[in-house]
């Protein structure tokens, strides 16, 4: 690997710049990685919700992946919104061919606004085709429940059990995000072959939470090449997200859930 990791996001768009591929690129830049993108869907959305989705044909997503990865190998890949089973299969096929060292899957299903970004009938394709091919998945509580066919975890003890059961479905590492539980802290559970650990951060009082999941998963992908293992990269990525949530107070974007802020020094 060169000194600057080259990191690819495979995801959908957000014209408001808060989530999706736009959030991923901002995160990569803020964390010193070189960002690349393969767009899977054009999404008409902003801080208040989604008004339309225009999916890229799976063959064209495959063409973007082939064109890019034959010239520029990716040191790490973050996968976000895929939108349908054909796109899921195209991405799985590219992983088999190009074998990137680190692959993080954020199994995006529903936007913060409540709009569905993955039809319910494509969840099985995600579970069966993609989970066994990635290194880390980062579901939130409803996504984990959907993948497992269970009720969402209601306690930390439930989260430990679900994180381990998600590993049994084939994902080598699982970061189960606990932002949807109440409390002064936001606790995520990381399951690895060595067991489960809790990663805790103070809960920031803010409605600016658009793009938290996108930011966390792309921060992990950007940082993983610089760390010896997954736990160090995940801890550093969560610390970055917490600061980006704090920094969101200086932004005033839109009338709904505002985005987090990928602060940079001003110069």
Ligand X SMILES: Cc1ncc(COP(=O)(O)O)c(N)n1
The residues of the shown chain that bind ligand X, judged by CB under 6 A, are 11-14, 19-20, 43, 45, 80-81, 108, 111-112, 117, 210-214
| CB closer to ligand X out of 81 and 159 | 81
- 186 tagged catalytic: no
Interface with ligand ATP, residue 212, by CB under 6 A: yes
- For the bound state, the minimum distance from the C-beta of residue 217 to ligand ATP, rounded and expressed in Å, comes to 8
Q: Is 211 a catalytic residue?
A: yes
User: Is residue 99 within the footprint of ligand ATP (CB under 6 A)?
Assistant: no
Residues 206-209: contacts with CB under 8 Å, at least 24 apart? 206/245, 206/248, 206/249, 207/257, 207/258, 208/245, 208/248, 208/249, 208/251, 208/257, 208/258, 208/259, 208/260, 208/261, 209/112, 209/179, 209/245, 209/257, 209/260
Q: Catalytic site residue 26? A: no
Kindly state the smallest distance separating residue 96's Cβ from ligand X, in Å.
24
> Does residue 35 bind ligand ATP (CB under 6 A)?
no
Residues contacting ligand ATP: total by CB under 6 A:
20
User: Cβ–Cβ contacts within 10 Å for residue 66, how many?
Assistant: 14
Catalytic residue among 27, 40, 46, 214: 214
User: CA–CA separation, 61 vs 38, rounded Å?
Assistant: 7
Marked catalytic residue, from 17, 178, 213, 258: 213
- Tokens describing residue 137: 């998945």
Q: Which does 36 bind (CB under 5 to 8 A by kind): ligand X, ligand ATP, none?
A: none
In angstroms, the CA 234 to CA 220 distance is 6
Under DSSP, the state recorded for 151 is P
Residues with a known catalytic role: 177, 209, 211-214
Question: Interface with ligand ATP by CB under 6 A: which residues?
Answer: 112, 140, 177-180, 186, 188, 201, 203-204, 206, 209, 212-213, 216, 238, 241-242, 245
């Amino acid at each position: 690997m060169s000194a600057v990791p080259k990191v690819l996001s495979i995801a959908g768009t957000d014209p408001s710049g808060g989530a999706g591929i736009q959030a991923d690129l901002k995160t990569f830049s803020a964390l010193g990685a070189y960002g690349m993108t393969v767009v899977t869907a054009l999404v008409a959305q902003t801080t208040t919700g989604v008004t339309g989705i225009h999916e890229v044909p799976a063959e064209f997503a495959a063409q973007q992946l082939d064109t890019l990865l034959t010239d520029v190998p990716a040191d790490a890949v973050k996968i976000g919104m895929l939108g349908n089973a054909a796109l899921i299969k195209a991405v799985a096929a590219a992983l088999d061919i190009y074998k990137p060292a680190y692959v993080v899957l954020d199994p995006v299903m529903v936007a913060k606004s409540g709009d569905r970004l993955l039809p319910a009938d494509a969840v099985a394709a995600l579970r069966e085709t993609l989970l066994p091919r990635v290194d880390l998945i980062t579901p939130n509580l409803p996504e984990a429940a959907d993948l497992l066919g269970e009720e969402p975890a209601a306690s930390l003890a439930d989260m430990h059990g679900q994180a381990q059961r998600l590993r049994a479905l084939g994902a080598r590492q699982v970061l189960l995000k606990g932002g949807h539980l109440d409390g002064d802290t936001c606790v995520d559970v990381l399951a690895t072959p060595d067991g489960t650990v809790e990663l805790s951060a103070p809960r920031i009082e803010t409605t600016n939470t658009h793009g938290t999941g996108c930011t966390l998963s792309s921060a992990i992908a950007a940082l993983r090449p610089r760390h010896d293992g997954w736990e160090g990269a995940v801890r550093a990525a969560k610390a970055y997200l917490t600061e980006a949530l704090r920094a969101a107070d200086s932004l005033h974007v839109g009338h709904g859930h505002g985005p987090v802020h990928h602060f940079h020094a001003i110069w």
